[in-house]
Amino acid sequence: MSEVRRIGQLLKHGYDGQPWYGKALRKLLAEVTAEHAAARPIAGAHSIWQEVLHAIAWRRVACRLLRGETVGELSDAENWPEPPGSDEAAWQQTLDELAQTQHDLEAGLANLTDERLQENVTYHKPFPLYRLLHGIIHHDAYHAGQIALLRNAGR
């Protein structure tokens, strides 16, 4: 199996499969309502909604880098956006955007070869595509853990 394919499987498992460490991101969010997503059950912590928007922001950065685009530094507002609303339709739109980033990442992987994994992309400094892709997988896993804590704290 190619390394690109293994990375693709890790990405899929982390989003909507069976990662070894717990629930996949999509499954964690499946029963979260807009009210629960917007809540702040832990003082000083972000909401579930903000955690999802943050993951979307960095997944979009990764997609742009995969396409060979130059990406400037994210502002604080881009890095940790405020939810666009508080109703179920706005929450569903956020979940749809997350799903779209999954589709975009998978599409970007479809065009890669193992040899290209060592090509550099630049965000602040150059680093290989391999590190970018594993980085987004680790980033998702970390924030899935944050979401799980927030879910449990809000019950």
**AA letter at 109:** L
CATH assignment of the domain containing 115: 1.20.120.450
pTM: 0.96
Question: pLDDT tens per residue, the chain (155 residues)?
Answer: 899 999 999 999 999 999 988 999 999 999 899 999 999 999 999 999 999 999 999 999 999 999 999 899 999 999 999 999 899 999 999 999 999 999 999 999 998 999 999 999 999 899 999 999 999 999 999 999 999 999 999 66
Q: Check residue 154 and give its pLDDT.
A: 67
Total domains in the chain come to: 1
Domain that holds residue 128: 3-153
The gap from C-alpha 70 to its chain's centroid, in whole angstroms, comes to 19
Task: Describe the crossing of helices 3-16 and 88-110 by its angle, rounded to 10 degrees.
Answer: 170
